[in-house]
Amino acid sequence: MSNKITFSWWNTSLSPHTKENLSSDEHKAFVLVTLWRLINEKSVDVICLCEVSTADVEYISGMFNGSEFSIYDGTVYDGRKRYDICTIYKSNLLQIINTDLITKIQPDGKIHAAQELNFQIKEFQEPITLYVAHWVSRLHVSEDDTLRIQLGTLLMDAVSASIEQRNIENIVILGDFNDEPFNKSLTEALFSTKDTFLVKKKPRLLYNPFWRLMVNKDLHPCTTELWGGGTYYHKNNKTSRWKTFDQIIFSSSFLRGNTWYLNEEKTEVYYNKEIIRLITNTNSKLDHLPVISSIERY
């Protein structure tokens, strides 16, 4: 009986913008090793990846031939925009129904907020919708740029439409937002919050458990370990090298005592000495850690 679904998100850095298919063999092999560890050490059922190309997805797919996992290749083009996302999921647990792109045409061009993946949880014949997002880097669009508010608003409109028009209660948003949980794009535009009591009172709010993971879990840790709380390592930042850009956000149904609930004890940033060594190495292209969250059935 499938009483648990564990999600993971990871920006692999395999094919970042303008550098598609240039990752080293070592980098590609490490991605496969990390995927294996997420599945076997953390029992992850759904893994959403970004900064992957079509060739990367083909390479990763070889790992899952003959397994219980399927891959949705989201490396599609919408005009000149290339999405760099794929989703690996247990096909004996979930069935993909359809997908969509969350976009909007603005006077100065089209904006792209997320991919929508509509699944059915097979055993219970229940719908669940995932929004998978990779927002524009701060290298190109600053923290205070209005585009970030527009992205959050567009994604919130899609979530609201799923809840109100399609009666989808269970919604999970996974992404590298290039914004932290406290930024306005996520709080004022996407209406995600750390306030569990308010989420239960106002069910259109979203809950973001990654507020808890913005700092090191230990107080003044007596260690030389470089993990300092966060998901993205900015090697040249002079005041705070770690940013919590990668997050998994949940609709209020997971807090309000419905069929499924968020087991927040299972929400974590995944790391080990090997991945920290690569992320902090100036010669490595890897700069993000995977994140994990889990829902369970009452």
- How far is Cα 263 from Cα 261, in angstroms, rounded to an integer? 6
Per the domain annotation, does 193 fall within a domain?
yes
In a domain, 128, yes or no: no
Domain CATH for 82: 3.60.10
Q: How far is CA 294 from CA 42, 72, 209, 228, 256, in A?
A: 10, 20, 11, 23, 16
- Residue 129 maps to a domain: no
Counting the structural domains of the chain, the total is 1
Match 């009986």 to its residue by tokens.
1
Structural domain for 65, as ranges: 4-91+173-297
Determine, yes or no, domain membership for 242: yes
Residue pLDDT, tens place only, 54-68? 999 999 999 999 999
Q: Do the domain assignments include residue 279?
A: yes
Distances (CA, A) of 36 to 26, 39, 113, 269, 275: 15, 5, 29, 16, 14
8 A C-beta contact, residue 81 and residue 105 = no
Instruction: Tell whether 112 is covered by a domain.
Output: no
Per-residue tokens: 233: 């390592």
139 assigned to some structural domain: no
Confidence of residue 94 (pLDDT cuts 50, 70, 90): very high
pLDDT at 53: 97
Question: What is the average pLDDT across 274-297?
Answer: 95
pTM higher than 0.85: yes
Q: At what angle do helices 25-41 and 54-61 cross, to 10 degrees?
A: 50
